[in-house]
Amino acid sequence: MSKSAAIVTGASQGIGKATAIRLARDFSALILVARDRANLEQTDTAVRAAGADALIVDLDLTQPSSAQTIVDRTLQDFDRIDALLNIAGAVPQIDLFEMTDEQWEAGLALKLHGARRLTLAAWQALKQAKGAVVLMSGNSAVIPKASYGAVGTINAAIVALAKASSDRGIEDGVQVNSVLPGPVTTGRRRSYLEHWAPIHNMTVEEATSRFPKETGIARYGKPEEIAELMAFLVSPGARWMTGSTLRMDGGEVKSI
């Protein structure tokens, strides 16, 4: 395996964890970023078992100084950045008219501004490596609804940020794309179903089977399936793909 380093945010759980473990087959080093050190240590163990080195950086991406710290520590240990996968960020699924300013700010601070700052901080190293950036958005960017207005708004902003960054990347040799996953069985989704089911006089199992049918898909996606798409986007096979927004949603979005 040639010398290469990839930063993965949100690596403590869900899609971020699955992506970090998958990328251990393609990169010699993974930089694992999240706030939860205990869970990051589990990801670290899995990454090393898959054959790559790992560096844990347990920082809060909502803090402006975190981005430069992550880049500095990566360059200190591995002297390069070949890929950056911005996966961290959970926005509460709260009705547009119920979302508070504080909740809006929290969602923007992590998912949008955390990714923006880290991408900018890593840009020169990515430029030197002719590297790749992926920003995680979501289907709500193209099907926003009042019941989760903030999610759709912030995800749409991420798509626009990725597109704008890719424009600069054409000149600098850095490819930038965004990914819109559909419903995926993460711990966060399971927690939501555990909360929602009893309110509607259902078991968690009933709620879990009902949602895919109502959405018009056969089943929920798996974090490992999204991870395969993320791995492709930072692979040599995707070098000519930039400025693209890719959906992987089991057919949830019915429009063209």
pLDDT of residue 90: 81
Q: Per-residue pLDDT tens for 185-242?
A: 887 777 777 777 788 888 888 888 888 888 899 999 999 999 999 999 999 999 999 9
> Global pTM?
0.94
Distance (Å, whole) CA 135 – CA 87: 7
Percent of the chain beyond pLDDT 70? 100
Instruction: List, in order of start, the domains of the chain with CATH numbers.
Output: 5-184+222-248 (3.40.50.720), 185-220 (no CATH)
Distance (Å, whole) CA 80 – CA 5: 6
SS3 label, residue 3: coil
Tell me which amino acid residue 45 is: T
Tell me which amino acid residue 38 is: A
13: pLDDT strictly greater than 90: yes
In the chain, where do the E strands start and end?
5-9, 29-34, 53-58, 83-86, 132-136, 175-181, 245-248
Q: What is the mean pLDDT of the chain?
A: 94
Q: Per-residue pLDDT tens for 70-118?
A: 999 999 999 999 999 999 998 888 889 999 999 999 999 999 999 999 9
Q: Smallest Cα–Cα separation from 114: which of 253, 7, 207?
A: 7
pLDDT of residue 169: 98
